[in-house]
Amino acid sequence: MPFIAAQPYEYELPIESQIALIVIDMQRDFLEPGGFGEVLGNEVGRANAIVPTVKRLLEGCRSLNLPIFHTQEGHCADLSDCPKSKLKRGRGDLTIGDSGKLGRILILGEPGNEIISELAPIAGEVLIPKPGKGAFYNTDLEVQLIARNITHLLIAGVTTEVCVQTTMREANDRGYECLLVEDATASYFPEFKQATLEMVRAQGGIVGWTATTDQVLEGVRSWKAAG
């Protein structure tokens, strides 16, 4: 059976269902100066550094015809989908909904909310706007996965310990086989990324698997060739 060489052990690829790539929140608000990430006091260069690797993963998965999903964290202009608790805690010099250098912070449709141009979705790929950290909360992601018979998720994006890990845990509880792509995810805190990778694959893969972009593309290539 085709597999991806992964930790803590081989990630078996499915026989009768599909694998998808999910790229989490590679949007200007988290990657560029002036966006939400920087307003919260973070060094956004750390997140931006993975863009070439995520691009390689994305293009590799496109060339292998995998279904591709992109998520985008954001709220409607009137903030009716933003819990008061989130507004209160997401506070740097500015907060969600305030006007910043990239438009209103974390508001759908504003310049800062766009997926960066290098990784922008192309025709046929699914964009999932999400009000929460996890991509399943208050979105139609699960409906879209079921419609495509997807059971296996390759997960990349930012930030590792927040939206990426939350999504991975939500997916794990729903029965999806999840693999976090180690070099295609980043945190503003390198130690949090490392801890998340270890947490995911601890205890026999309690949340899932981790592997590098090269390992993922090699495994998916052999899966396609066998199928």
Instruction: Give the catalytic positions in this structure.
Output: 25, 130, 163
Q: Does the footprint of ligand C5J cover residue 210 (CB under 6 A)?
A: no
**Residue from 96, 153, 158, 171 that binds ligand C5J (CB under 6 A)?**
158
Interstrand relation of 103-104 and 99-100 (parallel, antiparallel or unpaired):
antiparallel
Minimum CB separation from ligand C5J for residue 174, in Å? 20
**Residue from 44, 162, 197, 211 that binds ligand C5J (CB under 6 A)?**
162
Which CB atom, from 158 or from 180, has the smaller least distance to ligand C5J? 158
Q: Distance (Å, rounded) from C-alpha 199 to C-alpha 203?
A: 8
Query: Is residue 28 a contact partner of residue 35, using CB atoms and an 8 Å limit?
Result: yes
* The two three-digit tokens of residue 210, written as one number: 């981790």
Minimum CB separation from ligand C5J for residue 82, in Å? 12
Q: Does the footprint of ligand C5J cover residue 107 (CB under 6 A)?
A: no
Q: What is the enclosing helix (H) or strand (E) of 139? A: none
Which CB atom, from 74 or from 103, has the smaller least distance to ligand C5J? 74
Query: Is residue 106 a contact partner of residue 97, using CB atoms and an 8 Å limit?
Result: yes
Residue type present at position 25: D
Q: Distance (Å, rounded) from C-alpha 21 to C-alpha 38?
A: 27
Residue 190: cis peptide before it, omega within 30 degrees of 0: no
Going residue by residue from 8 to 37, which x/- string records binding to ligand C5J, judged by CB under 6 A? -----------------x----x-------
Q: Distance (Å, rounded) from C-alpha 101 to C-alpha 128?
A: 24
**Residue from 95, 113, 159, 167 that binds ligand C5J (CB under 6 A)?**
159
Q: Which listed range, 96-104, 135-143, 157-165, 167-175, lies at the site for ligand C5J (CB under 6 A)?
A: 157-165
Q: Distance (Å, rounded) from C-alpha 155 to C-alpha 181?
A: 6
Do you know the residue count of the chain?
227
Within 45-84, the residues that bind ligand C5J by CB under 6 A are: 73
Residue ranges in contact with ligand C5J by CB under 6 A? 25, 30, 73, 133, 158-159, 162-163
